[in-house]
Structure 1
Amino acid sequence: MGSYGDRVRQALLDSAEELFAQHGIDAISNRRIAEHAGNSNHSAVNYHFGSRDELIRAMMLRFSEDTHARRQELVAILGPEPGLRDLLSCLIVPFTEQLASMPVPSWRARFLRQMRAVPSMTEAVAATITSDPTVEDLIFRTRALLTECPPSVLSGRSWILGRIVTDSCADYEERLDRIGDEPNWTGFANFLIDAAAGLLSAPVTSEGDFLGARATQTWA
């Protein structure tokens, strides 16, 4: 069950994730997070996390151990010469499985989309993802299969791909909430993997550093 403090922290994390997902990061105060969590202490965020930045950091990391463990499991069963789709599966499936494990409505993907919408948070999102050494290795191996794609084009496509995965998962999450469809995150993951493989391996007809520094904030 955990201690009382652990339960309060969990309630604040859940409250913040829902409110941020619905209204955006900057639109929600710490006081509103506490009230939505049913906490009469309006300073609860600072008391339990130290600051708003630490709350957001905890939100970003709250499922990282589970996704890291699942990603290692998938990497362990890769064949000796995995293809592009195999490597992309290891990157995408742990995230979609995480979303599949959550009750409906869940807010995780929509929260991450809101995080990407705040320029000051973009680097924090990218850093959280790429801090996993397994992810770094998968990115390296993925790039090794795409040597015919110029580095600037590959970086740009990878940046686009990161947004596609986040935004598509957020849209699907919202659809499940709004319409009440039976979730099929496995099928949706395969849909994303197909799209990702097509994007990264597509022919290059125009080479250039079109996205500049933005393309360095990438997950693949």
Structure 2
Amino acid sequence: MLTGCNTNTQPATDPAATTTPPAAATPSTPATPPAIGKQTILFFGNSITAGLGVDPEEAFPALVGQRIDSAGLGYTIQNAGLSGETTAGGRSRVGWVLRRPVAVFVLELGGNDGLRGLPLSDTRRNLQAIIDTVRRRSPQAQIVLASMQIPPNLGADYATQFKQLYADLARQNKLVLIPFLLEGVGGVARLNQPDGIHPTPAGHRLVARTVWAILQPLLQKPAATQQP
């Protein structure tokens, strides 16, 4: 599985790649425009971000949005997750998604690449292209990179190098890194749906807590210090 919690999962049967995306996961602008005076935090990822198998308000981006509202911070959430998305797919649509500037861009892609055993050089190149596009379209945006992990089905070296590429990209581009998006969730059966890949509502709550621990300090900084 995507996070190493199901070592019997094979790339060819990745549910995230074969399941028809729910309407909530299609790449579209929010139903209502961001509130005046609020900056946008854009979550850009695959079925984990899209919240496949749970209600939209139970997915971790929406839960982070609730924390932001409770804290009285001037940000609004946009969920641009798409089930089955690879880094190549993300690279092709990121420009369309960034038609408006964003304050924070949370990048969660690569898991489907790893499950399919795609060349790591391609994954790295696509993620770098997405980062470059964000920097061009929203030069003031803070980019947060969510690191993913895969099981050693394709070999320990591949899995290790897959994990390392996130740390390398974060260091080279001076990004904020979430060390492992599914920390405490991957491999825990009760926190994942029957496919062993996608979090349950309880799992998403833990993911939201992990993301919030990284985001909260960034959002509370003065705007002038939120530069890459």
TM-score range, shorter chain: 0.3 to 0.5
> Rg: which structure is higher?
1
Bigger proportion of residues as helix: 1
TM-score by length of 1: 0.35
